[in-house]
Amino acid sequence: MTFRQNISRFVIGDISLRSLPDIALQALEQNLDSPSLRMLAGLSDNENDLVIERYFIGTLKELSIELPDERQAAIEFGVAIAEEIFEGKQNVFEGVQNIKRKAIDTYPFFEETKNYCYDSISFEKVYGLFDTIDDLRNAGSMQWQSDKTNQELENELTKDLFVELSVWIKLMQNGS
């Protein structure tokens, strides 16, 4: 994940303040650099929270990075997880489950719903397919369709989920 994506993880509470020195080290490896970033990367994880926070704030200022609000951070972390799916680091279903649970559910997007759940961030089709696959997996021995096995249906839905996720990530990366 990029430094910005890890900052988003911090904003929504997926990682703690004590993780910031490790994230700073990763940022240096990603060719970011500033005096405060170098200091932050050198701190131990048992450093005083105020010291970590001071160098973190200094890093943001020196690199001209604005801290995202919780809404934007949830989206950015969701995009980071989606990128991991496309890089083959997570499978589609579990990855989308992580997007929903670890990113999207950290902000009340549900309250922004206009017509369909999560439509304010164009995630409604991804969520609908994910929810259908989840229901299918919990169907037990009940056959959903007479002409296909549940596994065949799940395979088709997973392909559709992958396609819709690629549409979503492009929309989010373009700021839609």
CB 158 within 8 A of CB 151: no
Predicted pLDDT of residue 107: 96
Residues 158 and 112 in one domain: yes
Residues 164 and 112 in one domain: yes
The candidate with the shortest Cα–Cα distance to 62, out of 28, 95, 105, 104, is 28
Residues 81 and 128 in one domain: yes
pLDDT in tens, 43-60: 997 899 999 999 999 999
Domain end residue (candidates: 11, 36, 62): 62
Q: 51 is written with which tokens?
A: 């010291």
Residues 58 and 74 in one domain: no
Q: Give CA–CA dist 86/2, Å, rounded.
A: 15
Three-state SS at 97: helix
> What pTM was estimated for this model as a whole?
0.90
Domain residue limits at 134? 70-173
Residues 75 and 132 in one domain: yes
Q: 93 is written with which tokens?
A: 């279903």
Length of the chain: 176
Predicted pLDDT of residue 46: 86
Residues 107 and 132 in one domain: yes
Using pLDDT thresholds of 50, 70 and 90, give the confidence band for residue 176: low
Residues 52 and 89 in one domain: no
Residues 18 and 91 in one domain: no
Helical residues (DSSP H) of 87-123, grouped into ranges = 92-98
Across residues 121-143, what is the average pLDDT?
93
pLDDT in tens, 133-147: 999 999 888 889 889
Residues 143 and 78 in one domain: yes
Across residues 159-165, what is the average pLDDT?
97
Residues 154 and 79 in one domain: yes
Residues 105 and 163 in one domain: yes
Residues 91 and 149 in one domain: yes
The candidate with the shortest Cα–Cα distance to 96, out of 10, 162, 20, is 162
Across residues 158-174, what is the average pLDDT?
95
How many domains does the structure of the chain reveal? 2
Three-state SS at 4: helix
Sequence-distant (6+) residues with CB within 8 A of 156 are: 148
Predicted pLDDT of residue 141: 84
Q: 167 is written with which tokens?
A: 């549409």
Domain end residue (candidates: 62, 83, 107): 62
Three-state SS at 164: helix
Across residues 17-21, what is the average pLDDT?
95
Domain end residue (candidates: 36, 62, 88): 62
CB 127 within 8 A of CB 113: no
Predicted pLDDT of residue 95: 97
Q: 170 is written with which tokens?
A: 């492009």
Q: Give CA–CA dist 132/69, Å, rounded.
A: 31
